[in-house]
Structure 1
Amino acid sequence: MRDTMRAAAALDNGADIVTIGRGALANPDLLRGLSEPLVLRAFDPTILGSIANIKEAELAM
């Protein structure tokens, strides 16, 4: 959850917990952003893509 108002409303309405998974991935400084005015970035699913660059010589080992 990236929206503090929605998180607060969910907790006020009885939620035991709110998650910040994608919000934290998109905004490594999320906790600071929740306590200070900060424009939060939208989650970009491409950040979950593979970043490995394996060379043919490394595969031969």
Structure 2
Amino acid sequence: MLMDSVTAGAEPGVQFPNGGGLPEQAPVPIGAGGWMVRAVRASPIEDTSVGVIQLLPQPSN
């Protein structure tokens, strides 16, 4: 599980709007193979959003 902070930022490679530098990044190694992706993004109020991504191993046929 990887969770992000509440610091505002548009993209991982884009400086924060207040000149605070680039967002911190943490690599998450995943194994080779097929993966199913489930994702959801919600913006309950203006200027606030959350996204959740889940990787599941693809079943073998």
TM class by shorter chain equals: under 0.3
Higher fraction of helix: 1
Higher fraction of strand: 2
Please tell me whether Structure 1 or Structure 2 has the larger radius of gyration of its CA atoms.
1
Normalised TM-score (structure 2): 0.26
Q: Which has the higher contact order (CA 8 A, sep 6+)?
A: 1
Normalised TM-score (structure 1): 0.26
